[in-house]
Amino acid sequence: MEISTLLVECILIAVVLYTAYGVIYRLYLSPIAHFPGRKLAALTFWYEFYFDVIRRGSYVWEIRDMHETYGPIVRINPYELHVADSDFIDQLYPTVAKNVEKWSWSAGMFGSTDMTFGTVGHTLHRRRRGAFSNFFSKASVRRLQPVIQSRIDVLCERLSEKMDTGEPVNMVHAYSALTQDVITEYCFSNCRNVLGMQDFSPWYYELVQKPSELSHMIKQFPNMLPVLNLLPNWWVRATSPLFAQLRAQQLEYVSQVHSILSHNDETGSESHPTVFHSLRDDDDLPLSEKSLPRLVMEAQSLVGAGTLTSTHMLSMTTYHVLINPPILSRLMAEFEEAVPDPATLCSLEDLERLPYLGAVINEGLRISYGSVHRLQRVHPDNALNYKDWIIPPGTPIGMSSLHMHNDPAIFPEPRRFDPSRWMGPEKELRQRHLFNFGRGTRQCVGMNLAQAEIHMALATIFRQFGTKMQLYDTVRDRDVDVKHDFFVTNPSLDSRGVRVTLHSNNPKT
């Protein structure tokens, strides 16, 4: 036998033995081999790949089906468990400073682990988050009210221009412009002014939304992004205008952060404090944390997180209120009593005291989910107990708002948009099952800002245009309901958006 043939045979035998060992290990020897679930999912990541990459962010629904078959705890890939039981939230997402990490494989889906959102280790995460969390405290957000209100006023002016023209306005783009303007102003004191652009620049919405569509692919193939980044600009421009635009935008972030770091942009300190001027001046942050590449990633992630989630919540809530005339009438009645003159503004504190607005917002949060993606955590130091199960230390475990927000025992008829479920004595219990902002030490840091934007935008827009807005060719199944999990929730890829027309004499009121 020739040496080369012998070598090929040896390699083949080694591959077969290695694969056989892998199969036996994953199915029978792994520390989580005894947890229930589909064998194929336990055996290979290709199962998850099929649902999340080929069938575009749909593994979360397959996981829901697994729970129906196997119960509240299932194994969903070779390493990871998933729990569908809200009673487990406090154990999985502790609020006290306990060593809790993200799962590095999954954190890679954000394209980098340099930003707070994607940081794996507990201590590093505390340091990064601590450096800017003050900006998003309730008190800081209260001080930001004039900035938020001024952008909402611009949005209302733009909506007025469309009155009686019959021209539809895409509220997804409108809200995306609003939230992007607010977060870019707060981060850099350099508002992007998307609200001033033609049709609220759908392009700017796509620039934050499209990267999320790639997140599953990036998770499965972590080297994909560095390879794509090597492609020459001329080739990218010729083949993908969107990718070319993303690159251009990345350069904008680089120049934005660079001018702050090099003290060439001091506008922030003059008008209002901004996140990035403050990070630069934070003497407790080591220089490595203030490097240009890291802060560029932080900037991108803050703008993305501050835009998409609030946009989806606001557009879905707008749809559900407009499609339900009794809900609209009750909301309008509350506004008319609280704010007799639509031109007079109400403070955020006063808006937060309006019970029906609060109920509409809670129901809007419930039905829009926040992120339906499982929020994995790893407890490296201790085992967790779920019912009779002992989950070994270091096991990634996730939970998803999809299951919690649709639990008929807590939210009867979960598909129905019903703010009244938040008006009764069960409100407190239901609140504990609301998982939009996650929970624990990694809970959404922008939660107070999001709540302020949502209260102020819904109040101002509905007080002025509630009875003048009419839905335009908006179909719940096609345009509104969540159909894809790209970490952020996404309606069907065929969605035309939540669109409205504005009429000074609305025949429907």
Distance CA 342, CA 218 (A): 47
Candidates 212, 315, 362, 371; binder of ligand HEM (CB under 6 A) is 371
Q: Report in angstroms the alpha-carbon separations of 153 from 143, 184, 193, 243.
A: 17, 17, 13, 33
Residues 101-140 that bind ligand HEM (CB under 6 A): 116-117, 129
Q: Residue 370 CB, nearest distance to ligand HEM (Å)?
A: 3
Query: CB–CB of 50/86 below 8 Å?
Result: no
**Strands 81-83 and 397-398, bridge-based pairing:** parallel
Distance CA 390, CA 392 (A): 6
Does the footprint of ligand HEM cover residue 445 (CB under 6 A)? yes
Candidates 436, 460, 464, 495; binder of ligand HEM (CB under 6 A) is 436
Of 148-156, 328-336, 344-352, 442-450, the window that binds ligand HEM (rule: CB under 6 A) is 442-450
Q: Which is nearer to ligand HEM, 129 or 427 (CB)?
A: 129
Query: CB–CB of 136/163 below 8 Å?
Result: no
Q: Which is nearer to ligand HEM, 183 or 502 (CB)?
A: 183
DSSP 203-247: HHHHHHHHHHHTHHHHHH-TTHHHHHHHS-HHHHHHH-HHHHHHH
Q: Which is nearer to ligand HEM, 370 or 396 (CB)?
A: 370
Q: Residue 492 CB, nearest distance to ligand HEM (Å)?
A: 20
Closest CA to 37 of 61, 73, 9, 11: 73
| CB-based burial label for 409 (10 Å; 0-12, 13-18, 19+) | exposed
Q: Which is nearer to ligand HEM, 305 or 339 (CB)?
A: 305
Question: What character string, x for contact with ligand HEM (CB under 6 A) and - otherwise, covers 160-189?
Answer: -----------------------x------
Does the footprint of ligand HEM cover residue 328 (CB under 6 A)? no
Does the footprint of ligand HEM cover residue 464 (CB under 6 A)? no
Residue whose C-beta lies closest to ligand HEM: 446
Q: Residue 78 CB, nearest distance to ligand HEM (Å)?
A: 21
Angle between helices 145-161 and 171-188 (to 10 degrees): 150
Does the footprint of ligand HEM cover residue 306 (CB under 6 A)? yes
Query: CB–CB of 259/265 below 8 Å?
Result: yes
Q: Is 187 marked as a binding-site residue? A: no
Of 18-26, 302-310, 328-336, 495-503, the window that binds ligand HEM (rule: CB under 6 A) is 302-310
Does the footprint of ligand HEM cover residue 86 (CB under 6 A)? no
Query: What b/e readout covers 83-97, taking b as 16+ CB neighbours within 10 angstroms?
Result: bbbbebbebbbbeee
Does the footprint of ligand HEM cover residue 309 (CB under 6 A)? yes
Q: Residue 401 CB, nearest distance to ligand HEM (Å)?
A: 8
Candidates 84, 159, 305, 345; binder of ligand HEM (CB under 6 A) is 305
- The H-or-E segment that residue 501 falls in is strand 499-502
- Residue identified by tokens 């989806």 is 312
Candidates 207, 218, 375, 378; binder of ligand HEM (CB under 6 A) is 375
Query: CB–CB of 374/404 below 8 Å?
Result: no
Distance CA 63, CA 206 (A): 28
Q: Which is nearer to ligand HEM, 437 or 472 (CB)?
A: 437
Candidates 111, 438, 466, 491; binder of ligand HEM (CB under 6 A) is 438
Torsion of CA 451, 311, 459, 351, to 10 degrees: 0
Q: Residue numbers of the site for ligand HEM (CB under 6 A)?
A: 116-117, 129, 183, 302, 305-306, 309-310, 313, 370-371, 375, 436-438, 442, 444-446, 449-450
